[in-house]
């Protein structure tokens, strides 16, 4: 798994007022925690973090560097959670989880495809059903992603979780029968919902008008 470095500073206060002050300085609050470990409140340079996260997302080990007032510290972490402003969609808080390098963890790993399915030449459509799967392994063995070659995928064929080739040290937790991608045939006009109903409705309208006209003539 790729490893990146992020610089941080220890913060002493929390709450709305403290967060607003950080915002005016171009910084965002964060917290670093781990199992049976005391949490540490941090702040990050907003622009720096967003640039690094945009390139790596959660697919990296984040080495968080900071000074606790006595010495420089480096913690290898995974991003556990990110909070966003619901309107501006900008990062407002980050949770870093300090993992134990000798203990396995469960995490989600993206699935990406490459190649052009032969089914597309027959009018098929490549549909992505799931874009990530869950695994269990040591943090150092977490892959950036799983890659699927869909070149040989024909109409009505699919790639399932069971088809993923993972290294021996990685245990895939997701259901092996789950479909990841499939090539489906395009729907014909006869199969389009509502087409038949629309045709019936269109044919029925003149009949109603005709009946109404007949009734009117009979009355006269």
Q: What is the pLDDT of residues 152-166, one digit of tens each?
A: 999 999 999 999 999
Average pLDDT of 37-44? 92
* 3-class secondary structure, 99: coil
Average pLDDT of 147-154? 95
Q: What is the 3-state secondary structure (H, E, C) of 42-94?
A: EEEEHHHHHHHHHHHCCCCEEEEEEECCCCEEEEEEEEEEEEECCCCCCEEEE
Contact between 151 and 118 under an 8 Å Cβ cutoff? The reply is yes
Q: What is the pLDDT of residues 84-138, one digit of tens each?
A: 988 888 899 999 999 998 999 999 999 999 999 999 999 999 999 999 999 999 9
Per-residue confidence (pLDDT) for residue 199, from 0 to 100:
47
Average pLDDT of 40-69? 93
Average pLDDT of 11-36? 89
Model-wide pTM > 0.75 = no
Query: What would you report as the CA-atom Rg of the chain, rounded to the nearest whole angstrom?
Result: 28
Contact between 98 and 105 under an 8 Å Cβ cutoff? The reply is no
Beta bridge partners of 34: 37
Per-residue confidence (pLDDT) for residue 173, from 0 to 100:
97
Higher-pLDDT residue of 182, 38: 182
Average pLDDT of 13-35? 89
Domains defined for the chain, CATH in brackets: 3-98 (2.40.240.10), 105-187 (2.170.120.20)
* 3-class secondary structure, 4: strand
> Given a cut of 90, is residue 218 above it in pLDDT?
no
Higher-pLDDT residue of 197, 168: 168
The DSSP H or E segment spanning 142 is none
């Amino acid at each position: 798994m790729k490893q990146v470095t992020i610089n941080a500073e220890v913060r002493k206060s929390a709450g709305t007022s403290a967060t607003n002050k950080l915002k005016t300085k171009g910084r965002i609050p964060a917290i670093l925690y781990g199992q049976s470990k005391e949490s540490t409140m941090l702040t990050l340079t907003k622009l720096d973090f967003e640039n690094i996260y945009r390139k790596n997302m959660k697919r990296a080990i984040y080495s968080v560097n900071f000074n606790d007032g006595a010495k420089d510290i480096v913690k290898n972490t995974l991003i556990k959670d990110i909070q966003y402003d619901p309107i501006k969609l900008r990062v407002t808080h980050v949770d870093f989880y300090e993992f134990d390098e000798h203990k396995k963890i469960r995490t989600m790993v993206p699935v990406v495809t490459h190649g052009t399915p032969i089914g597309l030449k027959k009018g098929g459509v490549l549909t992505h059903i799931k874009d990530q799967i869950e695994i269990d392994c040591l943090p150092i063995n977490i892959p950036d992603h799983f890659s699927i070659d869909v070149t040989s995928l024909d109409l009505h064929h699919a790639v399932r979780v069971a088809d993923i080739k993972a290294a021996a040290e990685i245990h895939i937790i997701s259901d092996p029968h789950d479909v990841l991608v499939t090539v489906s045939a395009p729907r014909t006009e006869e199969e389009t919902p509502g087409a038949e109903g629309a045709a019936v409705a269109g044919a029925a309208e003149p009949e109603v008008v005709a009946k109404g006209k007949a009734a009117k003539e009979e009355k006269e």
